A and B are shown apart, each in its own frame.
Chain A
Amino acid sequence: MSGVGTLLYKEVLRFWKVAFQTVAAPVLTAVLYLLIFGHVLADKVQVFEDVGYTRFLIPGLVMMSVLQNAFANSSSSLIQSKITGNLVFLLVTPLSHWAWFCAYVGASMVRGLTVGLGVLLVTAWFAPPGLVQPLWVVVFALLGAGMLGALGLIAGLWADKFDQMAAFQNFIIMPMTFLSGVFYSVHSLPSFWYTLSHLNPFFYMIDGFRRGFFGLSDVSPWISLAVVGTSFVAVSACALQLLKSGYKLRH
């Protein structure tokens, strides 16, 4: 196996060895959201015609799980390795910054997509969401997982303590995913929040992803693709630059 292949394998093995915590638990959380919100809001919220609220909710929950778990994988792996000191085993290898990036982001995508698929399989049993334009589902799942994997890489490099990492996760990643239209259509929001939502790249990920299931979305999927694609490239370029410069890795 090549160097980058080994690091990818190691990163996947790392979360797979604790799959109850890294895969099963987030699937269960998403199912609980579906049961509770679906039960409470099913008769009150109708976003698209012919799409019940429970069906509407499923793609949002799937995408939210993909994003949060992709972020959690690279960020927690890096900060654990930094704090326990075993990152030294990687720092002394000939692996390039591209290899680090591809392996950490790749493993994050594997985790995010595994959890997302798990959520989809379980929740689809309650209310099959349909799959009108599957290509959009694949494109936005891959881009979203990749972008959050890269964002997790940046957070993992930046944070020196678990406390800082928790702050990044709870004060940036969580609000951005929750306020992106997972649980509602942004059209139902007051105009200020409606405008603000359109500045959140996570909104486009979820809206584009949902398009693939229902063939309906708040904005054109092409606009979403442009926003998410640009965000992915920008975040990746930032992560690569940090890795190349040895930011907080090589003093």
Chain B
Amino acid sequence: MPAVSFQSVSKTYVGPRGSLRALDEVGFDIERGEFFGLLGPNGAGKTTLISILAGLARASAGRVTVMGHDVVSDYAAARRALGIVPQELVFDPFFSVRETLRIQSGYFGLKRNDAWIDELLQELGLADKHSANMRQLSGGMKRRVLVAQALVHRPPVIVLDEPTAGVDVELRQTLWQFIARLNREGHTVLLTTHYLEEAEALCSRIAMLKQGRVVALDRTANLLAGKASTMLRFKTDQPLPSALAARARVTGRIAQLQAHDATEVEALLAALRAAGVRVEDLEIGRADLEDVFLEIMHGAAA
């Protein structure tokens, strides 16, 4: 039995200006103990899919189970098995950190949960904030409380919906260390993120969504291996010649160009020299997940 199973899940939003197909027959399983990445551009349907998983939205068609429990017909058991860290930074301003965590435990029928709450506070660097009101916390601290809230009932399946958006390096480190520990202890993790280096480092398997459809589903290693080409990376202050600009990935001063072999690398360098482009910090490396992602997103028929 998989930890999470999406079976032909479709979601259509009907609005005054016609209907929008947010998810189109999405189907895949996440096995127990996996660290699974769900990637896709904004509007691809990641959050809709997670909302259906968490019971925050209902599928128009299809079925979702968590540890074998249907999220609609057997919602109580499904929600006990699921801990979800929402994307939005939300909090209840009436309560302190500890009150928030005690109340969240109580919703799941847990009476004496303080030992685990203390451990969560310790692991997430919140120990000295336990009596602070939620309003007094910084954004990063509120994010930590959201993670703790999702974990109060020790759910076997943990869902993190863009947990590191706008989060400083320290929290990212703390968070991934702790989540990796929970994953080693047997918890299944489902992660959505826009930071592809995080997904590449953490996730053993990845699904990519584009316009509500699964366009890639494979082990991370296979996705990277399938992209055998090398990348030419360099910095420059000058514009690239138009022939190269069309196929380059440019981030600020950094330009990246795909090359299949050494001959093509030479040809690229010759073209740059011919155009009078001065390059710095030239390096040749393997394609990373971001290259795979971009190729799939541009190539996949929608």
Contacts and interface: CB of A to CB of B under 8 A. Distances in A.
Interface of A: 1-3, 5-7, 9-10, 13-14, 17-18, 81, 84-86, 88-96, 246, 250-251
Contacts of A18: 94
B56 interface: yes
A2 B84 CA distance: 21
Contact of B88 (A1, A3, A6, A85): A85
Contacts of B91: 84, 86
8 contacts: A3-B109, A6-B103, A7-B107, A86-B92, A89-B90, A89-B92, A91-B54, A94-B77
Query: 9 smallest A-B Cβ distances: which pairs?
Result: A6-B106, A94-B76, A85-B90, A93-B107, A251-B57, A86-B92, A94-B79, A86-B90, A10-B103
B206 interface: no
Contacts of B156: none
A1 B79 contact: no
Nearest to A5: B106
Given A94-B80, A96-B76, A2 B109 contact: yes
Interface in B48-86: 51, 54-58, 75-77, 79-80, 82, 84, 86
Contacts of A17: 94
Contacts of B88: 85, 88
Contacts of A246: 58
A92 B56 contact: yes
B298 interface: no
A94 B56 contact: no
Contact of A3 (B54, B58, B95, B108): B108
A145 B76 CA distance: 30
Q: Which of B13, B80, B104, B105 has the most CB of A within 10 A?
A: B104
B43 interface: no
Contacts of A251: 13, 51, 56-58
B149 A89 contact: yes
Contacts of B109: 2-3
A106 B80 CA distance: 25
Contacts of A91: 54-56
B93 interface: yes
B247 interface: no
A13 B100 CA distance: 12
Contact of B107 (A3, A13, A250): A3
A13 B90 CA distance: 19
